[in-house]
Amino acid sequence: MSSWARRGAVPLLLIWAWLDAAPANAADPGFFGYGTKPTPEQIAGWDIDARGDGSGLPDGKGTVAQGEEIYAQQCAACHGTFGEGEGRYPKLTGGEGTLTGDRPEPTVGSYWPFAPTLWDYINRAMPFQAPRSLSAADVYALTAYVLNLNNIVPNDFVADRDSLPKVKMPNRDRFIWQDPRPDTVAEACMKDCKHPEDVKVMSSAEGKDLTPRTTGPLDEMRPQ
Amino acid sequence: MGRARDGRPALVASRVIDETGYVQPTIAQLRTVRGSNSIYHNNAIQTWQVKPDGSIYDVQLG
């Protein structure tokens, strides 16, 4: 084979390979040297979202009364018997009219825009120490109970994939469906930004015992 | 850090500027816009106070 033929053959092969690979690029990025292709079952395990319009909600249902029992066992220790929040754990009830004040209290009643995404949140994240441990029916029951605690649904409400999208949440119409950020405009000062005398500490964690001292040896390293 | 180790107290903070040019706000600036109980998305500059005895505290500047 002449050298001319060899040179000519290389580009042709490259073009052929490129044409062959191009259509597959969008679907299959190829192998990066690690990982395996997820099975449909694995993808289904991650694909758990339920959306505001109710899409993604599973089969099953739960009543307010069922939810009351599960709530007492799984939720009340942190969120309080009536959703008032123990300690600094999040309140689930109250807070109406506070969102524009200095200390907004966003709760299911005062803030949450869609009932189906309450199901989604509980399902993916609660209870805090054991997320994904509740059945779909348990989560429906808890959703019904928390909505009832907020006086959004009656005592005989049954939560399921049909009823939750129809619940009109009190704060739904007050959302601005555009991201308002950036909502602060700061100047990137790089030099001589403030006189040290003008810097005032307005709040300090000192002496407030905010950090539990139960971590072992490190505690002994703190200044006495 | 280019700062003399003279034993005096110090305030330590860092500020970022993202790829859009957005400058991380101070906590006072953020609080003006979002109130004092926004819970999530508290992306203000964090300040740490270092005292002469070496103790460190979480502080907020005015």
* pLDDT of residue A141 exceeding 70: yes
Q: Which residues contact A118 (CB under 8 A, 6 or more apart)?
A: A108, A112, A143, A146, A147, A164
pLDDT range class, residue B16, cuts 50, 70, 90: very high
A188/B contact by beta carbon, under 8 A: yes
pLDDT at B62: 82
pLDDT range class, residue A5, cuts 50, 70, 90: very low
pLDDT in tens, A31-74: 888 888 899 999 999 999 999 999 999 999 999 999 999 999 99
Average pLDDT, chain A: 85
Chain A residues closer than 8 Å to B14 by CB? none
Higher pLDDT, A214 or A128: A128
The ipTM is: 0.86
Chains A and B form CB pairs within 8 A to the count of 64
Higher pLDDT, A81 or B4: A81
Rounded to whole angstroms, the Cα distance separating A118 from A67 reads: 14
Chain B residues closer than 8 Å to A185 by CB? 23
Is this prediction's pTM over 0.80?
Answer: no
Rounded to whole angstroms, the Cα distance separating A22 from A26 reads: 8
